Amino acid sequence: MEDWGYAASWENEFTTPKPMKECNPSSFGGYPAANTRYNNATHRAFNVLIETSDNKQPNATSLGDSSTLSDKALSDYLPATEMVWLSLLYIDLVQPYVLWKTHPHNASVEKAATFKWEVAGAITVDSTQLKVWSDSSSGATLTRVQGGVTRWYHEDLGLKVEVNNKGLFSADVEFAAAGTYYVQAIATVDQDWATQGTGEDVPVPKVNPQTHIVNARTNVDWIYSNNDRVVRGRTVWTSQKVKIVDV
């Protein structure tokens, strides 16, 4: 089922003989074969199989409840609590986003203004910085590049992380002269998701990653649509633009 969800709509393009066939079942009265014809945008799912417990009928008191949803309580490994957190994690990871934590509305040429933002919907922050401009964004300046990991990082991922900043960043901006400025936080995330195995771990068929969730954040040439829904790849994610009046 996991293989079907990932590759049913595209694997025939790369494999001989073609593994995906039209289904024409006779059980339960059957259904039209057209119901199992897909375009190459539909089946590109990232599947996660979660084994919650060896005990398939645990006592209800061992599952956890709303009082065990805190970070501290997670160490107790209560199944219901863990499923809530895992659901939130995977919902959040569908699309990266950048949001302001705090920012000024007014600034002074005599004092640097502090901006704080968060990068989320990802695991690794490859780079993030502020984009600052006045009249035209084509003449924007950029603050120092920063990087790190988000709130969803866990040491079991085995990444080389010096500081776990949980996706929180800040930068000071000095405005050269009085006037109106615009500031936007930008970020590039999870570029390692496009890295594939080698040797015994080489993918079969040997093609680039095919999931929407990977390509939507690593491949600017990625674009697929189905039923008026579009997935378009990009590598730069942006916050809302804020207007700063410098006096």
Hey, which residues does 133 pair with through a beta bridge? 182
Q: Give all strands (DSSP E) within 94-217, no chain letters.
A: 97-102, 106-107, 113-120, 124-133, 141-142, 146-149, 168-173, 179-189
b/e code 183-221 from CB counts within 10 Å (16+ = b): bbbbbbbbeebeeeeeeeeeeeeeeebbbbbbbbbbbee
For residue 92, count CB atoms less than 10 angstroms from its CB and return exposed for 0-12, middle for 13-18, buried for 19 or more: middle
* 17 upstream amide cis, omega within 30 of 0: yes
Amino acid identity, position 151: R
Report the pLDDT value the prediction gives residue 38, as an integer from 0 to 100: 80
Report the pLDDT value the prediction gives residue 46, as an integer from 0 to 100: 87
Report the pLDDT value the prediction gives residue 73, as an integer from 0 to 100: 52
Amino acid identity, position 47: N
What SS3 class is residue 57?
coil
- Residues 24-38 have pLDDT tens digits of 778 888 888 777 778
In this prediction, the residues of the chain whose per-residue pLDDT falls under 70 are: 52, 70-78, 136-137, 247
Task: Return d(Cα 23, Cα 33) in angstroms, integer.
Answer: 6
Question: Are 238 and 185 contacting, i.e. CB atoms less than 8 angstroms apart?
Answer: yes
For residue 123, count CB atoms less than 10 angstroms from its CB and return exposed for 0-12, middle for 13-18, buried for 19 or more: buried
Taken as a whole, the chain contains a residue count of 247
Question: Are 213 and 94 contacting, i.e. CB atoms less than 8 angstroms apart?
Answer: yes
Report the pLDDT value the prediction gives residue 72, as an integer from 0 to 100: 61
Give the HSE-up count for residue 49: Cα atoms under 13 Å, Cβ half-sphere.
Answer: 5
Task: Return d(Cα 149, Cα 139) in angstroms, integer.
Answer: 29
